[in-house]
Amino acid sequence: MITGGQSLVSSAPAFSNDSKKLLVCTGNSVSIFSTSTGMLITELEGHTDRVTSVIVVPASGPVSKFMSYCWTSSLDGNICYWDFSAAELIKKINTQQPIISMVKEGMEAFFFYFVALQACFTLGYMVASVPIMEGKQAQ
């Protein structure tokens, strides 16, 4: 939930594949806004500390342009995979270390994410091993 009095935007925002939604890290959650109205649509709540990154899974074809999946990372040590159109947590990976940032490398069906941990070293995770087009499986 967004509260007043301080800046809670902790990292760069991300646009949905269709550019109709803007995802913004706000404190312990990710707020999703309509780009046409500026109104808050929903929030992704599942982290217990500051969210440090949000990465929208890129469209790999015409049909996937309408898919709404993203990865988030947090100082709570979790990387979460979301269906942000339904605000549904699909998968959670616990690194057991605070995550300072996360960047994506590659545009293929599987993505490799680089994760910067507080201990000043970088880990590589192949976190998108869940096929994007298959049904959702919580873990």
Can you say how many angstroms the Cα of residue 93 is from the centroid of all Cα atoms in its chain? 12
103 near 112, Cβ under 8 Å?
no
pLDDT digits (tens, 9 = 90+) for 105-136: 655 544 455 566 555 544 454 444 333 333 33
- Please give the domain boundaries of the chain with CATH numbers for all domains: 14-125 (2.130.10.10)
- pTM strictly above 0.75: no
